[in-house]
Amino acid sequence: DLDHAGHGRLAGDELQAVVGALDEKNKALEVLSRTDKLTGIANRRRLEEALVRTLKDFGIPAGRISGRSGAWVADERGERKLAAVGIRVARRTSMHGFALNVDPDLTWFDRIIPCGIVDAGVTSMSAELGRTVAITEVLGTVQDHLAEMLGDFGPYDRSADVAAPRP
């Protein structure tokens, strides 16, 4: 799968040492993250939640779509991805990353099949809000929500999905 990592996208990566059980292919089953052990999926969900909350703070009705990673909007124009979230585990290290489409040139996504998704679109905060949004305008809000979601790993209220589960 390809993705575009160009101008106008706010990206972040988190590296953590892997501890605990490894499966038969030496892939991590658990990671240690500050105070608690979390599965990679739980950590990805927390990254997604931080991005969804950021988008909602800007008035964008974002959420998850069952069976797909990232932050999305869905309405009569279809499903559109606003943020990509990914996880990779290699050599006992987990890598969690995200890319939030703040104000990229969306035509770059016409040249590839972003994240391998052929039946949905890609959008940006600027496109959804109908105005130019600067990364500097979004950065503090993203940082606050990442700190909230990745700080102590306590329970949280999960944002609602934006579309019905996919078949």
Residues classed as catalytic: 115
CB 88 within 8 A of CB 95: yes
Cα–Cα distance between 53 and 57 in angstroms, integer?
6
Cα–Cα distance between 26 and 15 in angstroms, integer?
18
CB 18 within 8 A of CB 90: no
Closest CA to 143 of 72, 57, 76, 75: 57
Residue 136 structure tokens: 């500097």
